[in-house]
Amino acid sequence: MSMAGTTISAAQVQAAVEAAGLAPSIHNSQPWKWRLRGDTLELSADLSRALPVVDPDHRQLLVSCGAALLNGWLSLRAAGLDVEVGELPDGPDLGTGRLATLEVLGYRPPTEDETRLASAITERHTDRRPFGPGAVPADKIRELRQAAEAEGCWLSVLTGEDARVELAVLLARADWFEHHDPDYLAELAAWTRTGPDAVDGITWATADAGGKPQYAEFPLRDFTGGAGAASAGSAAGPAHDERVERPEALVLGTDADGPADRLRAGRALGRVLLAATSAGVATSPLGQAVDIEATRALVRAATGGAGHAQMILRAGYPDRSVAPMAPTKRRPVSEVLEQVSMT
């Protein structure tokens, strides 16, 4: 039962904003800002960190912010706080309105699931290492699907040959367009960081994906801007070639495609990735096919034509002979949190 009148502590605020910051975001752009007002944490979009070329309508910005919202909420829940989530309380204008509020109402013990997912927040990383041959068991896939459904979204597994071939073609098609687009390449370069102290953006180590050649059915996004990382876009070898990675391909989608749906897709993405982490399954987005609206519509067709594809994920078990990449860094809480006095 809830006890009214609780005030969130400074440590809980710090922990929640820090957890939120660990969420995945497009190009590690971290396009969010938080404000504490009384017992409420308010999330807004930071449009100065938007990516106008790869994400002209802010869809992926909203997905990123949704993942941050999930982490912030989980952190508060794991601390035993009862939290009410408000979505787009000021309407759909991202420039002026808040995306969401997390209002602490009192105490409520976390569920087992919430505790487990919260503890995966610091362990979750995008894993672009080549995957080994092991398939993800059906019960784990079911868990991932349930994680998406818990946030009002769906997760479709591309199993049929036709659908997988279609996805491979769409990813290659998107790569082709993006690498012939000077604006895309300039934006990617602007978010690529070479120094070890970068607190945002894509680091060179990320772009290199462990430096091991990857033979894969599905090409990963090429963060080198076409400079030729061996990992990106390598064609699949012959069908019997054991080096060819055949990951699970998961499409996360929503029934409608408004701002609230995209925000929800981010929560679902965050939850699916944390569920995968806690189940020992590695994941990385295959995002290029949903950058471009025309390709995104074709992904929708490949998944049976229902709803709207919001993200594509590859899932599997990494090749342990390749060292994990260094975790990406984040901006400090002081940079993303504003405190408003309630006098």
Would you tell me which residues interact with ligand FMN (CB under 6 A)? 24-28, 60, 63-64, 67, 125-126, 128, 202, 220-221, 284-285, 287-288, 328
Task: Tell the smallest beta-carbon distance from residue 220 to ligand FMN (Å).
Answer: 5
Number of C-beta neighbours around residue 302 at 10 A: 23
Task: Tell me how far apart the alpha carbons of residues 39 and 6 are, in angstroms, rounded to a whole number.
Answer: 8
Residues 87 and 20: beta-carbon distance below 8 Å: no
Q: Please, which residue, 41 or 220, has the CB nearer to ligand FMN? A: 220
Which one, 29 or 40, has the nearer CB to ligand FMN? Answer: 29
Instruction: Report DSSP letters for 273-314, one per residue.
Output: HHHHHHTT-EEEE-THHHHSHHHHHHHHHHTTS-SEEEEEEE
Residue 104 or 253 having the CB closest to ligand FMN: 253
Residue 83 or 232: which CB sits closer to ligand FMN? 232
Q: How far apart are CA 280 and CA 297, in angstroms?
A: 31
CB of 239 to ligand FMN, least distance (A): 25
For the CB of residue 288, give the shortest distance to ligand FMN in the complex, in Å. 5
Please give the residue whose beta carbon sits closest to ligand FMN in the complex. Answer: 287
DSSP per residue, 95-159 = TTS-SEEEEEEEE-PPPHHHHHHHHTTTT-----SPB-SPPPPHHHHHHHHHHHHHTT-EEEE--
Q: In the bound complex, what is the minimum distance in angstroms from residue 325's beta carbon to ligand FMN?
A: 8
CB of 210 to ligand FMN, least distance (A): 12
Q: How far is the CB of 342 from ligand FMN (least distance, A)?
A: 33
Nearer to ligand FMN, 36 or 188 (CB): 188
* Spatial CB neighbours of 147, under 8 Å, sequence gap ≥ 6: 155, 268, 271, 272, 274, 275
**Residue 44 · residue 17 · CB < 8 Å:** no
Decide: 18 and 321 in contact? Cβ < 8 Å.
Answer: no
Look at residue 69 and give its three-state secondary structure: helix
Q: Which is closer to ligand FMN, CB of 124 or CB of 145?
A: 124
Minimum Å gap between C-beta 108 and ligand FMN is 29
CA distance 326 to 203: 10
Nearest to 263 by CA among 76, 52, 145, 92: 92
Q: Which is nearer to ligand FMN, 287 or 307 (CB)?
A: 287
CB of 307 to ligand FMN, least distance (A): 17
The rounded distance, in Å, linking the Cα atoms of 273 and 124 is 7
Please say which residue, 40 or 288, places its beta carbon nearer to ligand FMN: 288
